[in-house]
Amino acid sequence: MPTAGSPYASRMTTSGAEQFESLLANRARIGFGVPVHTPRPSMSALYEFGGGYPDPESFPYEGMIEATKQMLAAEGAAAMTYGDAQGYRALRELICHKYEVFEAFKAEPENIIVSNGSGQALALAFSAFVDPGDVIITEAPTFSGTLNTMRRHGPEILDVPLDEEGIVTSAVRERLESLRRQGRRAKLIYTIVNFQNPAGMCQSLKRRHELIALAHEYETLILEDDAYGELRWGGETLPPLYALDRGGRVIRAGTLSKILGAGVRIGWLCAPKEMIPAFQGFLFGGGVNPFMSRVATYFLRDNLVPHIQRLIAVYKAKCDATLRGLDDTLRGTDYSVSRPDGGFFLWMKLPSGTDQKKLSELAVEARVQYTPGPAFFPHKGGGENHIRLAFSYESPEKCYEGARLMGKAIVGAR
């Protein structure tokens, strides 16, 4: 046993974190010590509007059981071993089929690399192209999870505003031109094109063309995030940036989390095939989850369109119910709220004079969970008079009642 004064004694009494904290890489230091929670509904909330959780009643339990049986009978041991480094080919073919059915554009399996959800897909893009100190341009507000991933890569994050047509391309140009005058350039422009999280709008066709032109003019890339595009119940389906681009400037991220189940953990990047090796270097060999990739493929190849049609009806009913509840209680105030044509979220500008701290207290009392607006901005000062409500998880009846309680809390916080 080491004696007092031994060089080993202090090592044995050092706390767990202190043993290695001084050795952490800079990237690991960003956010170190902040608890990382597995996304799941709050157990303390009676009305869960905080997270974008898919409706558990919509999960195709029986269909997935049958798909697993069919897959194992057909593929046997091949499903239980390592797979293609780029991902299960039949899944990549299915993704290309989904693009053609829902967005009328063609991609090839060689353009797809499968990832562990779209969160990892976005991280692959940042890892491949962004060094500490590089510049990323992002719309604001934007998804808080992606902001956290960006920050871990140590870039300078420049935000640009949104309006009813999506990212304001004139502001993007100003950012890019300012960087050019400094002898710098942005590595990536990050944008959520359909049912933007949290703001809810879709990027207009005019803005899509303008953004692509800017990427070429200023020699940067666009990271196009589309997790909700199939869940459309109104408006016009527009071609994605990836399809509109003719010069290899767009990387597109997608996921099955919102149309099949978040626990499936299947996402992907769609990119020029010459770019794929840059992402593969950050993945272990053997492909991402060959087993679940097969199960998802076997289910969706026979059920893709009817399953998504069912989801559209489910989420439209929830959205309508939430808006009714808000309107019933906030009519007469100067509040405003997005009225999206799809997706999971409502973005609300609170009535004048609302005290956010008081609102938080009243919402806790009513057991209504929501997300304050500042979570969706890269810098302090944004979103102070906004909140996000996710209508995806609760039933339409609970969406209505929870929205009424939220509206009453807002009125009480003024």
- What local confidence, expressed as pLDDT, does residue 286 receive? 85
Q: 303-347: per-residue pLDDT in tens? A: 999 999 999 999 999 999 999 999 999 999 999 999 999 999 999
- Inter-residue contact 347 to 338 (CB < 8 Å): yes
Tokens of 407: 């509206």
Q: pLDDT band at residue 238, thresholds of 50, 70 and 90? A: very high
Higher local confidence (pLDDT), 79 or 1: 79
Assess if residue 15 is contained within a domain.
Answer: no
Section 247-251 average pLDDT = 96
Beta-ladder partners of 368: 47
- pLDDT at residue 25, as a whole number: 78
**332 & 256 share domain:** no
Q: Is 380 exposed, middle or buried, given 0-12, 13-18 or 19+ CB atoms closer than 10 A?
A: exposed
Q: How many domains does the chain have?
A: 2
Closest C-alpha to 298, from 158, 123, 88 = 88
d(CA 160, CA 172): 6
Q: Summarize pLDDT for 182-214 with one digit per residue, the tens.
A: 999 999 999 999 999 999 999 999 999 999 999
> Tens of pLDDT along 373-407?
999 999 998 999 999 999 999 999 999 999 999 99
Interior/surface letters 174-206, b for 16+ CB within 10 angstroms, e for the rest = ebbeebeeeeeebbbbbbbbbbbbbbbbbbbee
Q: Does some domain include residue 2?
A: no
**What is the number of residues in the chain?**
414
pLDDT for residue 29: 74
Reading across the β-sheet that carries 166-167, which strands appear in turn?
112-115, 267-270, 250-255, 221-225, 186-192, 135-140, 156-163, 166-167
- Tell me, yes or no, if the pTM score tops 0.85: yes
Helix, coil or strand: residue 111? helix
Per DSSP, 257 falls in state: T
**Residue 35 scores a pLDDT above 60:** no
Cβ 299 vs Cβ 260: under 8 Å: yes
> Is 291 within the bounds of a domain?
yes
Exposure b/e, 273-283, CB count within 10 A at least 16 = b: eebbebbeeeb
Q: Quick one: pLDDT at residue 36? A: 54
What is the predicted pLDDT for the residue at 387? 98
Q: Is residue 5 part of a domain?
A: no
Domain termination site, one of 303, 338, 371: 303
91 and 172 part of one domain: yes
DSSP class of residue 81 equals S
Q: Are residues 51 and 123 in the same domain?
A: no
**At residue 134, does pLDDT exceed 60?**
yes
Identify the pLDDT of residue 168. 98
* Residue 284, pLDDT score: 82
User: Which of 303, 322, 344 is the endpoint of a domain?
Assistant: 303
pLDDT score of 179 more than 50: yes
In a shared domain, residues 274 and 377? no
Helix, strand or coil, per DSSP, at residue 48: strand
pLDDT at position 181: 98
Residue 52, domain CATH:
3.90.1150.10
Token code pair at residue 5: 């004064």
Q: Which residue has the tokens 């940067």?
A: 220
Q: 123 and 133 share a domain? A: yes
- Answer yes or no: do 375 and 265 share one domain: no
Say which CATH number the domain at 137 has.
3.40.640.10
Task: Decide the pairing of beta strands 156-163 and 166-167.
Answer: antiparallel
Q: How far is CA 116 from the centre of its chain?
A: 13
Are 348 and 406 spatial neighbours (Cβ–Cβ below 8 Å)? Answer: no
318 is in which domain, residue-wise? 47-59+307-412
Residue 89 lies in a domain: yes
Range name among 26-40, 65-79, 110-124, 327-341 with the lowest pLDDT average: 26-40
Which band of pLDDT confidence, cut at 50, 70 and 90, is reported for residue 31? low
211 and 95 in a common domain: yes
Q: pLDDT confidence of 39, banded at 50, 70, 90?
A: low
- Could you tell me if 254 and 313 lie in one domain? no
pLDDT score, position 12: 43
Tokens of 336: 């405003």
Structure tokens given for 99: 């693009």
Least confident residue range of 30-39, 179-188, 237-246, 278-287: 30-39
Tens digits of per-residue pLDDT, 107-124?
999 999 999 999 999 999
Distance in angstroms (rounded) separating the CA atoms of residues 44 and 364: 9
Place of tokens 């902001």: 147
Query: What is the C-alpha separation between 200 and 193, in angstroms, rounded?
Result: 10
pLDDT at 9: 44
In a domain? residue 28: no
Task: Assess if residue 23 is contained within a domain.
Answer: no
In this structure, the strands spanning 221-225 and 186-192 are: parallel
pLDDT in the model for residue 280: 93
* DSSP-assigned beta bridge partners for residue 159: 138
Of 303, 338, 361, which marks where a domain is finished? 303
> Which of the four pLDDT bands, split at 50, 70 and 90, describes residue 13?
very low
Mean pLDDT of the chain: 92
Beta strands in 194-235 (DSSP E): 221-225
**Same domain (yes/no): 297, 340:** no
Residue 237 lies in a domain: yes
pLDDT tier at 260, thresholds 50, 70, 90:
very high
Same domain, residue pair 318 and 274: no
Same domain as 393, residue 248: no
311/226 same-domain check: no
